[in-house]
Amino acid sequence: MPVHRLLVRLPPLAIVAGLALAGCMMGPTYHRPAVATPVSFKEADGWAPANPSSAADRADWWTAFGDPVLNDLEDRVASSNFTLAADAAIYTQAHELVIEDRAALFPSINLTPNISATYSGAKGGATVVTGSGIAAGAAGGSTTTIYQPAISGSWAPDFWGGVRRTIQSARATAQADAATLADARLTLQTELATDYVSLRQLDQEKRLYDAEIAALQKSLGVVQNQYRSGNAPRSSYLTAVTTLKGAQAAAIDLARQRALMEHAIALLVGVPPAQFSLAPAPWTLNLPQLPAAVPSTLLQRRPDIAQAERAAASANAFIGVQVAAFFPTINLTGDGGGESSTLAHVFRASNLFWTVGASASEPVFDAGLHLARYRAAKAAYDQAVANYRETVLTAFGNVEDNLAAQRVYATEVGAVNEETKAAVENQTISLNEYEAGTVDYTTVAAAEQAALNAQVAQVSLQASQLATAVSLIESLGGGWTTKELPKG
């Protein structure tokens, strides 16, 4: 008899499977935990609503800063950072666990063909073992070969939904890991952008110091000539020297700070610092316009919120796993096959055999084990819900902080620009007055220091605005949405 005809005689597993899959699902039905969501951000008062074309809504948000070097570095982070590679491997493991858990819904079937040979020797005959391990004897003996192909299966129908709840939990965990990967990617991208802004800020400050040092060297020449001619006191000469050397020392320290920032960027793109360098470049970064989003959209746009929500979903499904454990476990088994000394006769009706069986087990006394597991699962869900709500609350706070900083910096720019303009003009006037002999060099030195400080403060404010823009983009999700979560 062909194997497929033998299987027809076994219990109709497909029918039982359908009944099991249509069975009840123990445990609570999941609903996204409720959170208090404001209608609008307080610090966004007076700002335009979010524009879908804004940088915060684009996956390649960094291109809004208009710097080709930054664009290239961001691409390298996505492809070469080892932290992202590790997080991607974690998600892959979680995804494979979903497939592993799903396999428990179906029967396990094994094919076990068996061939054995038995030798019976004549009296006084010798026994010889062949290279294949089958005994052969002298004349008068005989060898009997038995062919015994068999197929066996076992299955535990998911009547109470414990396996399906396990799959739900594993799937939600995999989605949480995918969100963690997205959050790690966004964090590294924004960290790189912030470091790059700091590096270009140091480049710009170095240019300011270099220009100031050149001016101080010129002033020192003037003071030195007047001192030698007896038209200026030695204190003026020493003040000029002190001011110049102080500026030179500060410029040298900028090189140290820049090296550290360059090393940090190298690590983010997965390159040893010794093999990485960024040449100094002009200050060309643009400040993108970033209108505020509606608070409710954060629930779909921030990967850390998605991760916390999926963790709550996983914990909820695991409650169902523990509830299902209170009910009986039913196991169905079956095996069949044939046995013959002739391969062609193995599947004859007279040589066939099959057995089927069923067993069930139900916890009667476990000293509170299952109840404790159920209560622990509920507590884990409560913890996940609290973490989710805290994550959402923190996200709202992040956006408010960055909106406030963005608004304040925008109003501060005018005052800083006016201060810088006045300080630079006063520096020129003071030097002219010194050369005319109407003021001493202490006045010139103070004006020069004030001008340098004002220009550095101007660059620092520009860098702060850019860094705040990066932080605001991060707090709004960086263009990511929950639609990017894997379904399976």
CA distance 106 to 382: 32
* Closest to 302 measured CA to CA, from 405, 398, 382: 398
Residue range 324-363, pLDDT digits in tens: 988 888 888 888 887 877 777 777 777 777 888 888 888 8
How many angstroms separate the Cα of 180 from the Cα of each of 31, 175, 193, 380, 434?
21, 9, 20, 19, 63
β-strand partners of 315: none
pLDDT of residue 392: 95
β-strand partners of 331: 359
pLDDT of residue 349: 78
Contacts of residue 268, defined as CB under 8 A and 6 or more positions apart, other chains included, come to 73, 77, 81, 188, 191, 192, 195
Count other Cβ atoms within 10 Å, centred on residue 284. Answer: 12
Helix (H) or strand (E) holding 15: helix 13-21
The DSSP line for 67-108 is -HHHHHHHHHHHHH-HHHHHHHHHHHHHHHHHHHHHGGGS-E
Calculate helix-pair angle for 303-324, 162-228, nearest 10 degrees: 160
β-strand partners of 410: none
Q: Is the dihedral of CA 429, 431, 436, 438 positive or negative?
A: positive
The DSSP line for 6-72 is HHHTS--HHHHHHHHHTS---SPPP-PPP----SS-GGGTTSPBP-TTSGGG-TTGGGGG--HHHHH
Burial 338-354 (b: 16+ CB within 10 A, else e): bebeeeeebbeeebbeb
Q: Is the dihedral of CA 5, 10, 11, 15 positive or negative?
A: negative
pLDDT of residue 441: 87
DSSP class of residue 132?
T
Consecutive sets of 10 residues in the chain, 488 residues long: mean pLDDT of each? 37 46 77 89 63 63 94 92 90 89 87 82 51 48 80 87 91 94 94 97 96 92 88 89 94 96 96 95 87 79 95 95 90 83 77 83 85 94 97 94 91 94 94 87 91 96 95 92 88
- Under a CB-based contact definition with an 8 Å cutoff, are residues 407 and 468 in contact? no
For the chain, what is the radius of gyration of the CA atoms? 39
The DSSP line for 255-323 is HHHHHHHHHHHHHHTT--GGG---------------PBPPGGGHHHH-HHHHHHHHHHHHHHHHHHHHH
Calculate helix-pair angle for 162-228, 68-80, nearest 10 degrees: 140
Helix (H) or strand (E) holding 181: helix 162-228
pLDDT of residue 46: 56
CA 119 and chain centroid, separation:
65
How many angstroms separate the Cα of 95 from the Cα of each of 104, 162, 322, 470?
15, 19, 22, 32
CA 295 and chain centroid, separation:
23
CA distance 295 to 475: 11
AA identity, residue 95? H
pLDDT of residue 292: 61
- Sketch out the chain's domains with CATH numbers: 24-106+157-335+370-484 (1.20.1600.10)
- Under a CB-based contact definition with an 8 Å cutoff, are residues 311 and 172 in contact? yes
CA distance 48 to 64: 18
Three-class secondary structure assignment of 412-475: HHHHHHHHHHHHHHHHHHHHHHHHHCCCCHHHHHHHHHHHHHHHHHHHHHHHHHHHHHHHHHHH
CA distance 198 to 259: 11
CA distance 339 to 115: 10
Token pair 């505020």 is found at: 292
